Amino acid sequence: MPRQAWQGPLEQVDEYRWRIPTSYDRRMRVPGLVFADEKLLQHITQDESLQQVANVAQLPGIVRASLAMPDIHWGYGFPIGGVAATDPDAGGVISPGGVGFDINCGVRCLRTDLTVEEVRPKLRQLIATLFKTIPCGVGMSGDIRFSQKEASRVMVQGAKWAVDQGYGTAADLAHTESQGRLDGADPETVSERAVTRGQGQLGTLGSGNHFLEVQVVETIFDARAAAVFGVGVGQVVLMIHSGSRGFGYQICDDHLGMMERAMSRYGITVPDRQLACTPVTSEEGQRYLGAIRCAANFAWANRQCLMHLARQVFERVFEKSWERLGMTLLYDVAHNIAKFEQHRVNGSQKTVCVHRKGATRAFPPGHADLPEDYRAIGQPVIIPGDMGRNSYLLVGTARAMEETFGTVCHGAGRMMSRAQAVRQASGRSIERELEQQGIIVMGRGRKGIAEEQPEAYKDVNDVVHVVHEAGIATRVARMRPLGAIKG
């Protein structure tokens, strides 16, 4: 990971907002806006992520600002934690670098009626059974498969396909962003190679920062919202973090080259080839949109299948049906996505293409896209931390709609490269260290767990502090980990 420290200007707007002015680079069409405090900036300024914010500000058709969430760190093209909206009517572009390789990587949170006192005696058995049941790690495949003929239905129907196969209920769809399906998915834009890679990957966790984590609610900040979500102190919840796996990766790879070759045809130049893009309305832009919607739908089907497998494990360990255990889906949010949404730009409502790269939606109370039972309090926002500290449940705000296109961060954000984390873990057992804290972690290999050690990440408590104080989401509950499985 590059470690070239930021040398450019950074103007303080207030305690939690910082601006990169357009005067930094005459090619910038809009300023950069970074959400952070001085403590987080000490880390943020040590890599090239702020330069990436400035680079994104040069994209054709970008509106308002190139945004950076407090978990920002260096990524491919866009920084991870980067957000940008483009106006298709003004030559706005779409860029695979603004979505990422793991299209619709996302998190879902399940509530349960179990208490920590009920789970603690069976925790090791529970984590071991989850690890045995749910395939995790690089290249791992599972038992939930689909034929080449069935592939189009998965790509078009998303989570509904999984529910129709018996992997969940219609109620799950109501609490999934976009009901677990984006319209406009076009299987004709997806290569055979992508389909082949995806055939054994439904119901699989993957590797890297993906996880399934058993948590306990330790603090309630907003009693009204917590009551609506059905969570309380001492209650056990489950978080699942995964995406479109090799299927989405292949789609991104296929379309990156196509866009890079096409840019000159549209007279587009970018400061970094990783920002390859074409106009939203172009043939290449439309094909990419059709393909990433397929990948997004695949990811929602994957998380739906993962939840089904987790419910089965809880049934076996606690000898009750998942319904009797109260294992209902609280919400599922997408990261790594480009979506068309209505937002106010320069005083009028516009349909813009919102790129969220390692960032998650945070719509306010009253928004029509929210489930009816959550509409009065706002969209659930799920921000997981590392496997040794905390995770948070929040709600979106009207201020987020005004400033960030209804967006907040998606996690704590890496502070070390994977190679650095492995070096720092040399001679240590991360599993043993976590177990001494009462956290049971199982993974496919020691290297993967070393890469994901808590010290590799910013403290999510610091990140959420900025989010909450800046007013772009407000805290509802804080959870701490009991156990996790990792790839």
Rounded to whole angstroms, the Cα distance separating 423 from 399 reads 41
Q: Is 64 left (phi over 0), alpha (psi -120 to 50) or beta?
A: left
Instruction: Quote the tokens at residue 66.
Output: 């190139």
Q: Which of 335, 355, 410, 468 is catalytic?
A: 410
Q: Residue 226 — φ and ψ, nearest 5°? A: -60, -40
Collapsing DSSP states into helix, strand and coil, what is residue 40? helix
Instruction: Give exposure, 294-308, as e/b (b: 16+ Cβ within 10 Å).
Output: bbbbbbbbbbbbbbb
- Counting Cα atoms < 13 Å in the Cβ hemisphere of 16 gives 15
Pairing of strands 32-35, 278-279: unpaired
Beta bridge partners of 68: 34, 82
Rounded to whole angstroms, the Cα distance separating 230 from 390 reads 19
Rounded to whole angstroms, the Cα distance separating 40 from 227 reads 32
Residue 64's H or E segment, with its range, is strand 62-73
Instruction: Quote the tokens at residue 195.
Output: 């389909």
**Residue 410 annotated in active site:** yes
Rounded to whole angstroms, the Cα distance separating 242 from 306 reads 9
SS (H, E, C) 227-240: HHHCCCCCEEEEEE
399, amino acid identity: R
Looking at the chain, how many residues does it have? 487
Residue holding tokens 């400061």?
271
* Residues annotated catalytic, as ranges: 410
